[in-house]
Chains A and B, each alone.
Chain A
């Protein structure tokens, strides 16, 4: 919508009084500018910022325990109320001993994790030793910090095993970086925390830990509409990561809460033939 600026235009030349002057011929119109084509002139910019505001519809979690790091995620991608995919890989393999989880914009997470993988490999080649989880997460946090305010949407956890043992860091698009033992990220994370916190013990076996991770993801997908699909569970040990399981959460539901075969209270009998 272009505002009517005809009032600004004048047929009179700006300089001189009607005398035709070659030098001044190009100066008759007052400069005008294009206005944004919108009905809401004052608010459209805010809308643009809100559009890129991160809305992380997912559930991912990771925790450190005696045997290493357990990483788990769902696999649903949603656009508002529409489920665009039930099979998104949200656990990204940065290198054979480090994993990253995806929450937020899929493209952002995939690109920046790939970029991080490149930087980690360059570090290895330059220093003849593997980069630590702390170093890798700091590289990512610094990169994301330099883009703060520009609409990146990344809520990721970097999990790995380095010389100091298992490491877990949470990094987000605001440039925040937290070191911790247990994290869950995404719209389903409060639900996952509820199950994870109450069932967590440091001294768990790999089977117990993977069951806890799977259960937490399942409960989050049950309550959160933006999470669902397949619950993938990975384990990071001293020799690198290994995918343990990938179970459809619908099937997990009936596995955890089987429907007992109903005994009919009343049976409808066939009407006696007349």
Chain B
């Protein structure tokens, strides 16, 4: 089952997601990146049905870019989160998207923020959030050790604690995770945590 979680620290936000693409009992791929760069300073970690996840997040990404082109300035994280929730809500009673989203972003005025948006268009601004079976283990771990003024190193330690807990306690634990960070310098890959490495293919 897909595990997505994230937290906000001092001037940054971190999100981690598992990287397995599963089809009933088969693991088709164990390095699927589920955290998308919405724009230079926003990350969207999504979990849900495969088609919906990619199509909906790409739709949001294109609309966020369109706003920037039309108006000359990028959307704030709060605005992007509210737009996303609005789209989910509109589609909910006709053609619902089964996607859960954690949106992390950095704005110069308001700093780093994290938004919890679930598949029935719930929206909350949070310090820490999680989706999936992994949330049963990561939420309490984060609740226990989280502080609002954490540094990047401390936050990564907490993320690793959560990953370790998921790996040791969840019966169908995903083998690999990807961690991404967003701060004043932008949104970028931070690290991969891989316990099962695919047979390496030469970089084509």
Contacts and interface: CB of A to CB of B under 8 A. Distances in A.
Interface of A: 64, 66, 141-142, 144-145, 148, 164-166, 170, 172, 174-178, 180-181, 183, 189-190, 193, 197, 200-203
B73 interface: no
B204 A64 contact: yes
Given A165-B204, A201-B199, A174 B50 contact: yes
B28 A180 contact: yes
A178 B31 CA distance: 10
B171 interface: no
Contacts, number: 54
A221 B172 CA distance: 28
- Secondary structure dominating the interface of A: mixed
A178 B51 contact: no
A202 B199 contact: yes
Given A166-B204, A202-B201, A190 B54 contact: no
B204 A145 contact: no
A65 to B, nearest CB: 8
**Residue of A66, A176, A201, A203 with most chain B CB atoms under a 10 A cut-off:** A176
A175 B28 contact: no
Contacts of A142: 55
B19 to A, nearest CB: 11
Contact of A183 (B28, B32, B50): B28
Interface string B179-198: 00000000000000000001
Contacts of B154: none
Contacts of A181: 198, 201
A178 B21 contact: yes
A176 B199 contact: no
Contacts of A145: 51, 55
A116 to B, nearest CB: 17
Given A166-B204, A201-B199, A202-B202, A178 B29 contact: yes
27 contacts: A66-B202, A141-B51, A142-B55, A145-B55, A164-B204, A165-B204, A166-B204, A172-B50, A174-B49, A175-B50, A175-B52, A175-B55, A176-B49, A176-B54, A177-B50, A178-B21, A178-B29, A178-B32, A178-B50, A180-B28, A190-B25, A193-B26, A197-B199, A200-B199, A201-B199, A202-B200, A202-B201
